[in-house]
């Protein structure tokens, strides 16, 4: 009986981006001029779904922006700082299925 040699395939990602890291990566795909308003961001990137946890659960940028109190962002860092608590709360809260699963004894 033999063993298959390890795969040297490096196409698989070594880490999963979620939360602010995923937002930051997705923002790089768009040419956003700062300062920018929340309505402009919702129009440009509101359709994006961004993972908020390692399981791949997602939240739309429109939903995330709706949960931010600010209406204008001076630069990308200000936007990321405002979005960070939104994604953290969502990650900690989890989905309804996660809460049900965690409450079951098995």
pTM above 0.85, yes or no: no
- Own/partner pairs, 34-42, CB within 8 angstroms, 24+ separation: 34/73, 34/74, 34/75, 34/76, 35/72, 35/73, 35/74, 35/75, 36/72, 36/73, 36/79, 37/71, 37/72, 37/73, 38/65, 38/68, 38/70, 38/71, 38/72, 38/73, 41/65, 41/73, 41/79
Query: For 22-53, what is each residue's pLDDT tens digit?
Result: 999 999 899 999 999 999 999 999 999 999 98
Query: For 69-94, what is each residue's pLDDT tens digit?
Result: 999 999 999 999 999 999 999 988 86
């Amino acid at each position: 009986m033999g063993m298959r040699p390890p795969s040297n395939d490096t196409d698989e990602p070594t880490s999963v981006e979620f939360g602010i890291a995923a937002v930051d990566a997705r923002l790089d795909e768009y040419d956003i001029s700062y300062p920018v308003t929340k309505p402009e961001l919702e129009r440009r990137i509101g359709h994006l779904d961004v993972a908020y946890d390692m399981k791949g659960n997602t939240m739309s940028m429109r939903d995330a922006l709706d949960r931010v109190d600010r209406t204008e962002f001076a630069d990308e860092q200000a936007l990321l700082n405002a979005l960070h608590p939104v994604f953290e709360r969502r990650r900690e809260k989890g989905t309804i299925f996660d809460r049900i699963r965690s409450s079951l004894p098995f």
